[in-house]
Amino acid sequence: MESAAKEPARARLIVRGRVQGVFFRASTCEQARRCHVCGWVRNLADGGVEIVAEGDRHSVQELIAWCHRGPAGAYVTQVEVTEEPHTGAFHTFDIRR
């Protein structure tokens, strides 16, 4: 079980609710760095937030769990999670515009 938690993972998330204008991107960036997850976060034109996260499976799951709550001021109504093949393309976690 321990080895499964350490295997590389990648997830694409779409977070919906009141998630723009509440520091969701900046807070996600901080949380991802705390979890040792790489990737990016950006606002979507429809009011949602998109996140691509890579790291070990446990760390990615930890970030996903946080996204269900978000920062103070956010109201998350839905988190769509799509697992994708890990690419190792990221070395940091950034905010995209």
pLDDT tens per residue across span 22-57: 999 999 999 999 999 999 999 999 999 999 999 999
- Entry pTM: 0.94
- Backbone torsions φ then ψ of 2, nearest 5 degrees: -60, -40
CATH (domain of 14): 3.30.70.100
Whether 15 contacts 49, CB under 8 Å: yes
Distance CA 52, CA 9 (A): 11
Q: Give me the number of domains the chain comprises.
A: 1
Distance CA 49, CA 2 (A): 31
Helix or strand or coil: residue 67? helix
Per-residue pLDDT at 2: 56
- Residues acting as catalytic residues: 25, 43
